[in-house]
Amino acid sequence: MRWTLKPKPETTKTVKLAEALQVEPLVATLLLQRGIETYEAAKSFFRPSINDLHDPFLMKDMDKAVARIETAFLQNENILVYGDYDVDGTSSVALMSSYLKTRSETIATYIPDRYMEGYGISYKGIDFAEDNDFSLIIALDCGVKAIEKVAYAKEKGIDFIICDHHRPGNELPDASAILDPKRDDCKYPFKELCGCGVGFKLVHALAHNQGESVEDLAEYLDLVATAIGADIVPITGENRALAYFGLQVINTNPRPGIKAIINLVEKDELTITDVVFIVAPRINAAGRMKHGNYAVNLLTETDYDLAKSGAAEIEIFNSDRKDADKRITKEALEQIEILNEQERFTTVVYEESWHKGVIGIVASRLIETYYRPTLVFTKSGDKLAASARSVSGFDVYNALEACSEHIEQFGGHKYAAGLTLNEEKYDDFKNAFERVVSQTIDKSLLTPEVKIDAQIDLKEITPKFYRILRQFAPFGPGNMTPIFMTEYLKDTGYGKCVGEDDTHLRMTVTQSGVEKYVCIGFGLGDKLELVSNKKLFKSVYAIDENHWQGNVSLQLKLRDLKQQ
């Protein structure tokens, strides 16, 4: 790993903020690194307010979207709520349909089949709307590039309202309204909402017209927080407030579907990380292994006993997903070795039998091994479909755009994207992608980086300091868990490898023979030799709590270590 120590803020700024907040300079440093420079900004950071959310009508086309939906209510039109099959899409559909059903009885939902229809708006979905007399489709987490499909719907007398957060193309669809903060002509103050977040803003606007406040919509925030965590959007600004209050709902009064998932794993209090690794994969498993409708049904279920049954069903899908993920990752790693492609700047693999629902996960797994911009392809109908994942600091979306002559369709974000292409174009695309990445990537990005917030001594780690650190949560992009570096550490003599295949490292460290802390280093079992025989070493780590037999103590969660 590359260890990068973040620059220290100006001393005068650190002292001023520390005095204003009555905190240690180290806490002030961490805040300044996150762009928090004043007492008021710190107050907003530590005590988010639901009333700090922006006026939804600041979003371009919001007035048009609300007017079109209100007309649909007045005329008793059939409204189809359409969303993608991932967590963001299914959460968005659950949120929007649940709210609209409080205002109308003519609401239905539609999730495209990952295998039959693929990502985003489909012709089949539009045909379904026509066959069932839907005159308005509200598309969530998709649609901003669906120019031909929106035109196709318009020919059939079906209007579209699009709620998306992906980058638009040069041309926008001819929809009744397009809500997307990433539109060039949208002046909305916060650009990083997830799809469910955009959907929530539309619900907020509709509720405002009914004289309701945002507090009246708190019951929907468990869905928004789940989507924020799963879609890996920055947990800053408005997303921080939405995630903060959404977690409160998840931990106090979640909807039956989320409660049933949580009860499967018997977890007391969930963090945003728990949402990402416990709740989100199970919701995602429905669309990956079976159909996204299972997720929507679970998230909209109001009867807890029925929700328990739905959650148990999804647990089976998740177990199947894990098995497929493990097998395909093994096959992909073997393919890379057989083709002798370890020295390339990219990882691109293809096998027609691989399960389309897990190729995105497999791409992430391959990055853990080779740390390269990665694409995993499989056969999808008469096309090839791929999931792309990138390394920190490299924009894979831009790289795909540079290869667009070989691609039929693509979309996504800086770090994750999807695409389809004709099979005969595979080799040309693979070579073009390698060429583009090799010519544009900063070679240092091919080594994983750990960004260090501050260098500290063990004596600075106190229960009070940790209590303040906890208030920095929820963590995520833009506000990552603080990482510290400490030098001249020594194992007390009981360091050992633990876990399956001895892959993890556990030890107790001391600095100058005074403070002692238990450390756990997941995946660092091969570093045992560096700390044996009381050799001096330095380490980067996060501070965490260890719960064991009713006792709670601070521990260091190691990210990496090196010889002193």
Q: What string of H, E and C letters represents the secondary structure of 290-332?
A: HCCHHHHHHHHCCCHHHHHHHHHHHHHHHHHHHHHHHHHHHHH
What's the confidence (pLDDT) of residue 169? 86
Q: How far apart are CA 385 and CA 424, in angstroms?
A: 13
Confidence check: pLDDT of 549 > 80: no
Sign of CA dihedral 317, 322, 323, 327: positive
Q: What is the pLDDT of residues 37-46, one digit of tens each?
A: 999 999 999 9
Q: How far apart are CA 19 and CA 17, in angstroms?
A: 5
Q: Strand 177-179 to strand 374-380: parallel, antiparallel, or no bridges (unpaired)?
A: unpaired
How far the first Cα of the chain sits from its last, in Å, is 15
- Is there a contact between 537 and 531 (Cβ–Cβ < 8 Å)? yes
Confidence check: pLDDT of 494 > 90: no
Confidence check: pLDDT of 34 > 90: yes
- Is there a contact between 61 and 179 (Cβ–Cβ < 8 Å)? yes
Q: At 79, which CATH number? A: 3.90.1640.30
Based on the fold, state whether residues 138 and 199 are members of the same structural domain.
yes
Based on the fold, state whether residues 420 and 299 are members of the same structural domain.
no
Mean pLDDT of 440-459: 95
Q: What is the pLDDT of residues 284-324, one digit of tens each?
A: 999 999 999 999 999 999 999 999 999 999 999 999 999 99
**Closest by CA position to 161, among listed 147, 175, 144:** 175
Contacts of 111 (CB under 8 A, 6+ apart): 82, 83, 84, 85, 89, 90, 93, 287, 291, 292, 293, 295, 296
Residue 37 domain-assigned (yes or no): no
**Closest by CA position to 92, among listed 237, 260, 362, 283:** 283
Mean pLDDT of 97-116: 95
Cβ neighbours, 10 Å, residue 442: 8
User: pLDDT band at 184, cuts 50/70/90?
Assistant: very high
Based on the fold, state whether residues 416 and 531 are members of the same structural domain.
no
Token reading at 549: 């037999």
411, 446, 481 - which closes a domain: 446
Q: What is the pLDDT of residues 403-416, one digit of tens each?
A: 999 999 888 788 88
User: pLDDT band at 339, cuts 50/70/90?
Assistant: confident
Residue 176 domain-assigned (yes or no): yes
Contacts of 492 (CB under 8 A, 6+ apart): 507, 508, 509, 510, 516
Q: How far apart are CA 149 and CA 158, in angstroms?
A: 11
Mean pLDDT of 385-406: 95
To which H or E segment does residue 109 belong? strand 107-110
Based on the fold, state whether residues 180 and 76 are members of the same structural domain.
yes
Q: What are phi and psi of 122, to 5 degrees?
A: -120, 155
Average pLDDT, whole number, for the chain? 94
Residue 30 domain-assigned (yes or no): no
Q: Residue 558 is part of which domain span?
A: 450-563
Q: Determine what percent of the chain is predicted with pLDDT higher than 90.
A: 88
Q: At 428, which CATH number? A: 3.10.310.30
Residue 498 domain-assigned (yes or no): yes
Q: What is the pLDDT of residues 230-255, one digit of tens each?
A: 988 999 999 999 999 999 999 999 99
Based on the fold, state whether residues 440 and 464 are members of the same structural domain.
no
User: pLDDT band at 538, cuts 50/70/90?
Assistant: very high
Residue 319 domain-assigned (yes or no): no
Mean pLDDT of 457-466: 94
Contacts of 193 (CB under 8 A, 6+ apart): 165, 181, 201, 233, 238, 239
Based on the fold, state whether residues 343 and 307 are members of the same structural domain.
no
Based on the fold, state whether residues 131 and 277 are members of the same structural domain.
yes
What's the confidence (pLDDT) of residue 548? 78
Confidence check: pLDDT of 343 > 90: no
User: pLDDT band at 114, cuts 50/70/90?
Assistant: confident
Based on the fold, state whether residues 290 and 149 are members of the same structural domain.
yes
DSSP designation for 476? B
Confidence check: pLDDT of 471 > 80: yes
Alpha helix (H) ranges present in 5-132?
11-21, 25-33, 39-46, 62-74, 87-100, 123-131
Mean pLDDT of 553-560: 95
Mean pLDDT of 130-136: 97
400, 417, 446 - which closes a domain: 446
Residue 495 domain-assigned (yes or no): yes
To which H or E segment does residue 2 belong? strand 2-5
What is the amino acid identity at position 553? Answer: S
Based on the fold, state whether residues 491 and 537 are members of the same structural domain.
yes
Query: What are the strands, taking DSSP E only, across 314-434?
Result: 347-350, 374-380, 383-389, 409-412, 416-422
Token reading at 441: 């990537």
Q: At 552, which CATH number? A: 2.40.50.460
Number of structural domains found in the chain = 3
What's the confidence (pLDDT) of residue 93? 98
CA atoms within 13 A on the CB side of 17: 26
Q: Determine what percent of the chain is predicted with pLDDT higher than 70.
A: 100
User: pLDDT band at 55, cuts 50/70/90?
Assistant: very high
What's the confidence (pLDDT) of residue 341? 76
Token reading at 213: 């406040």
Query: What are the strands, taking DSSP E only, across 141-264?
Result: 159-163, 177-179
To which H or E segment does residue 110 belong? strand 107-110
Give 81's strand partners.
109, 138
Contacts of 380 (CB under 8 A, 6+ apart): 115, 118, 356, 420
381, 414, 446 - which closes a domain: 446
Three-class secondary structure assignment of 255-284? CHHHHHHHHHHCCCCCCHHHHHHHHHHHHH
Q: What is the pLDDT of residues 415-428, one digit of tens each?
A: 889 999 999 999 99
Q: What is the pLDDT of residues 185-241, one digit of tens each?
A: 999 999 999 999 999 999 999 999 999 999 999 999 999 999 999 988 999 999 999
CA 312 vs. chain centroid, Å, equals 24
Q: State whether residue 93 is helix, strand or coil.
A: helix
Residue 266 domain-assigned (yes or no): yes
Report DSSP letters for 490-558, one per residue: EE-S--EEESGGG-EEEEEEEETTS-EEEEEETT-GGGHHHHGGG-EEEEEEEEEEEEETTEEEEEEEE
Q: How far apart are CA 293 and CA 424, in angstroms?
A: 34
Based on the fold, state whether residues 268 and 282 are members of the same structural domain.
yes
Q: Which of 117-121, 235-239, 284-288, 467-471 has the lowest mean pLDDT?
A: 117-121
Residue 200 domain-assigned (yes or no): yes
What's the confidence (pLDDT) of residue 415? 87
Mean pLDDT of 118-139: 96
Based on the fold, state whether residues 457 and 397 are members of the same structural domain.
no
What's the confidence (pLDDT) of residue 361? 93
Token reading at 51: 């009333």
Based on the fold, state whether residues 427 and 543 are members of the same structural domain.
no
pTM for the full model?
Answer: 0.91
